[in-house]
């Protein structure tokens, strides 16, 4: 019986070893540099927090503010800032989520945006007036947000579980 021996030159072995190392390194780079897929649950939690922040801002007390020599009735800037800070303290970063992420699964974000724009068309700002009264606009947005909250039950459920 003759044993067949496979002879591999040292250079060939080195090349095969280097090729294997390159394949492994390339695989690791691709695996860890690929963007992390954001889960639907994580997006839902962000949408709830975002909705609550917007609702908070449009629920702020309306006060008289003078801007550019015109008096306006607007939500309190301190209150709005507090609503925004509350969102930030929950650890949310708006640059983390793409529009496509926020539009996945449902149209909550689109509905909120459309409602605010719609109220702006119904109650446009009259810049010629000495007093710019945004009360009707803010009330319209609050009313629309209440309807949206009914359309997306997971928003209400999050409030009852906290």
3-class SS of residue 130: coil
Nearest to 131 by CA among 62, 58, 28: 62
Predicted model pTM: 0.72
* C-beta atoms surrounding 13 within 10 Å: 10
| pLDDT 10s digits, 88-142 | 898 886 667 788 888 888 999 999 999 999 999 999 988 888 888 999 999 999 9
- The string of pLDDT tens digits covering residues 37-79 is 778 888 899 899 999 999 999 999 999 998 778 899 999 999 9
The residue that leads in pLDDT, 6 or 161, is 6
pLDDT of residue 130: 83
Residue with tokens 């294997």: 20
The predicted structure's pLDDT at residue 162: 44
Domain residue ranges of the chain, discontinuous segments joined by +: 7-36, 40-161
Is 147's pLDDT higher than 60?
yes
Buried b (16+ CB within 10 A) or exposed e, 136-159: ebbebbeebbeebbeebeebeebe
For the chain, what percentages of helix, strand and coil (3-state, to nearest 5) are there? 65, 10, 25
């Amino acid at each position: 019986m003759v044993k067949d021996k496979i002879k591999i030159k040292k250079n060939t072995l080195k090349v095969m070893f280097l090729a294997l190392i390159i394949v492994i390194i390339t695989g690791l780079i691709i695996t860890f540099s690929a963007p992390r897929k954001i889960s639907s649950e994580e997006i839902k939690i962000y949408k709830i927090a975002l909705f609550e922040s917007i609702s908070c801002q449009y629920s702020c007390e309306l006060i008289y503010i003078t801007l550019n020599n015109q008096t306006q009735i607007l939500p309190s800037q301190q209150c709005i800032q507090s609503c925004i800070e509350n969102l930030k303290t929950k650890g949310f970063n708006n640059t983390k989520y793409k529009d496509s992420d926020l539009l996945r699964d449902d149209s909550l974000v689109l509905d909120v945006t459309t409602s605010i724009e719609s109220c702006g068309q119904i109650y446009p700002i009259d810049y010629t007036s000495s007093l710019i009264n945004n009360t009707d606009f803010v009330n319209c947005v609050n009313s629309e947000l209440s309807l949206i909250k009914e359309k997306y039950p997971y928003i209400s459920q999050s409030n009852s579980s906290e």
